[in-house]
Amino acid sequence: MSDESATRTVVVSAPGKVLLAGGYIVLDRKHTGLVFGLSARIHVLAQEIHTSAGVHLSEIVVQSPQFLNSTWRFGYHLVEDGGGIKVTQLQSGAPVEPNHFVETTLNYVLTYIAQVDQSRASHGFEPASLLVLADNDYYSKPKHSSASDRPSSSSSADEPFPPISTDGASTTASAPSTSAPPPTTDPAAKTEPKPPRPRFRHFGTTLRHAHKTGLGSSAAIVTSLTAALLSHYLPASLFDLSTPSSRRVLHNLAQVAHCSAQGKIGSGFDVASAVYGSCLYRRFSPALLARLPSPGESGFAAALAALVDDEGGDLWDCEIRKEAVSLPPGVAIRMCDVDCGTQTVSMVKKVHEWRDKNKEQAAETYDGLQARVDELAGLLREHRTEEIWSVMGPVRDIMRGMGEASGVPIEPESQTAMLNALEGVEGVLGSVVPGAGGYDAAAVVMRDDVETEKRVRGFLREWSAKNEIQVRLMKVKGETEGVRKEDVGGFKLWLQ
């Protein structure tokens, strides 16, 4: 690797999220939500593609080597009338399902880069490879994972999956997946020590069929992909992730791209926490995005850059209060995966229908929940550990009430039964079905010690057996840090 390309190789990671309190109300600018970042991160490694002498490539390749059939190749072109850069997914060989979040992010970020770095227009974008590596907790465990947790020989050979070393890092770059040993049924193999769990597991399925746990994978990937592209293509004088102004650019650009990919239905709390980590969040005015042309439309590039740069500082009216949020020492936020997942969009639609038909009751409920959000943030910030239960219980009651009134399973009965019992375990301080509720992973606020963890694991094991379901305590913990640059050295076995 030349010195020049080494400096352009970058790894960025962004955290997942848990909206501990404030689901639904945070969609309204009148209200706020209490969101924690999570230790589960999505990493994006950006590097140049080296071609043989005389070979000219103009491609951006995004790969998620933990999933089958997850290599997306894009061509790109400049659209006339200031329509920006548009990417087109290239198909070669077996058809690959589009990745809407990745494609949309490329359209927005490449357009922004071309607009702010005018010198680039003359030579376009050098080909680049972007590798997405998600911490294992973003998806439920595959039911029949092989002993090695690596792809079987049936996975596509164009999906590099380096062999795993004992520390979870891979040992060679771009080794075809066929190098993984096939699953064995030899009974003698049972006596062999279990191979170490890889840091980035192969899920043995396509992304579409993966069971997500609800940690905010789309916001984390849009944010880390945006940051990786900006860091890779722009000189440090125009983008430096360690500066507040560049973080603001990243936040604004990732919000716009994520909102567009999501169909403008979210409050943006997940992107805010992917960038800034834990915070008390008030959303931006939805009108902010209303005037922005779509990618490819006349004037899109200039309007996007003006919106993202916000030179006057008066466009983005969201509030991200980091100082309002912390965790008492010795207390952790943990997550319990119930291996189901939830359709947030249809739940939001139904809750809004109820809110619009029952204005008074809804306003009372929303105000009641807001009071609890503020109280809970205050208790945690002031380290009043013994009082946590006294606010988390009422948060659950209000969420359950809102679910019953609107006919939405915000806290489904099965979750109610489990959380009630779980709250009886010594060391558990409170629990909640976070965010929109439903069957995403439940959040548990508990003492951060091995004894409590043992008791909680034991409880979940028994609960799973008794109820013939699969509930498990995930490794992930609440943490405060947002997006960050990672040491490329830790990923060198994924380098090309």
Ligand X SMILES: Nc1ncnc2c1ncn2[C@@H]1O[C@H](COP(=O)(O)OP(=O)(O)OP(=O)(O)O)[C@@H](O)[C@H]1O
Comparing CA positions, the residue from 181, 174, 178, 175 lying closest to residue 147 is: 181
Question: Is 197 an interacting residue with respect to ligand X (CB under 6 A)?
Answer: no
Shortest Cβ 482–ligand X spacing (Å): 16
Helix (H, G, I), strand (E, B) or coil at 204: coil
Residue nearest to ligand PMV (CB): 435
Look at the block and give the residue holding tokens 């000189």: 235
Is residue 263 packed enough to be buried (19+ CB in 10 Å), middle (13-18) or exposed (0-12)? exposed
Q: Residue 207's binding partner, choosing from ligand PMV, ligand X, none, with beta-carbon cut-off 5 to 8 A by kind?
A: ligand X
Cα 100 from Cα 106, distance rounded (Å): 10
Would you count residue 134 as binding ligand X (CB under 6 A)? yes
Dihedral angle at the C-alpha atoms of 149, 151, 153, 156, nearest 10 degrees?
180
Query: From CA 425, how far away is CA 415, in angstroms rounded?
Result: 16
Distance CA 231, CA 319 (A): 25
| Contacts (CB under 6 A) with ligand X, residues 320-349 | 344
- Helix (H, G, I), strand (E, B), or coil: what is residue 227? helix
Q: Out of 26, 34, 132, 257, which residue is the one contacting ligand X (CB under 6 A)?
A: 132
Stretch that binds ligand PMV, among 158-166, 192-200, 234-242, 428-436 (CB under 6 A): 428-436
Q: How is residue 211 written in tokens?
A: 């069971």
Task: Say which entry of ligand PMV, ligand X, none residue 99 contacts (CB below 5 to 8 A, set by partner kind).
Answer: ligand X
Give the shortest CB-219-to-ligand PMV separation in angstroms. Answer: 9
* Cα separation of the two ends of the chain: 9
For ligand PMV (CB under 6 A), the number of binding residues is: 15
Do 433 and 399 form a contact (C-beta atoms < 8 A)? yes
Answer for which of 440, 442, 445, 446 binds ligand X (CB under 6 A) is: 440
Q: Where are the beta strands (DSSP E) in 142-289?
A: 279-282
Q: What letter does residue 292 receive in the DSSP assignment?
A: P
Among 24, 76, 101, 203, binds ligand X (CB under 6 A): 101
217 binds, among ligand X, ligand PMV, none (CB under 5 to 8 A by kind): ligand X
Closest CB 103 distance from ligand X, rounded Å: 9
Choosing from 212, 251, 282, 400, the residue that interacts with ligand X (CB under 6 A) is 212
Q: Does 130 bind ligand PMV (CB under 6 A)?
A: no
The angle formed by the CA atoms of residues 347, 350 and 352, to the nearest 5 degrees, is 110
213 binds ligand PMV (CB under 6 A): no
> Residues 436-455 vs ligand PMV: string with x where CB under 6 A?
x---x---------------
Question: Is residue 207 at the binding interface for ligand X, with CB under 6 A as the rule?
Answer: yes
Beta partners for 473? 336
Does 406 participate in binding ligand PMV (rule CB under 6 A)?
no
**Shortest distance, CB of residue 166 to ligand X, whole angstroms?**
24
Min CB(109)–ligand PMV separation in Å:
21
State in angstroms the smallest separation of the CB of 465 from ligand PMV: 28
Residue closest to 432 by CA, chosen among 404, 465, 410, 403? 410
Residue whose C-alpha is closest to residue 280's, from 247, 245, 311, 325: 325
Q: What is the dihedral of CA 237, 106, 241, 113, to 10 degrees?
A: 10
Please tell me the distance from the alpha carbon of residue 305 to that of residue 86, in angstroms, as a whole number: 15
Q: How far is the CB of 378 from ligand PMV (least distance, A)?
A: 21
Stretch that binds ligand X, among 6-14, 78-86, 210-218, 318-326 (CB under 6 A): 210-218
Do residues 318 and 282 lie in contact, with contact meaning Cβ atoms separated by under 8 Å?
A: yes
Check binding of 273 to ligand X (CB under 6 A): no
Q: Is 16 in the site for ligand PMV (CB under 6 A)?
A: no
Residues that bind ligand PMV (CB under 6 A): 19, 23-24, 26-27, 214, 266-267, 269, 344, 348, 434-436, 440
Residues that bind ligand X (CB under 6 A): 64, 99-102, 132, 134, 207, 212, 214-219, 221, 270, 344, 440
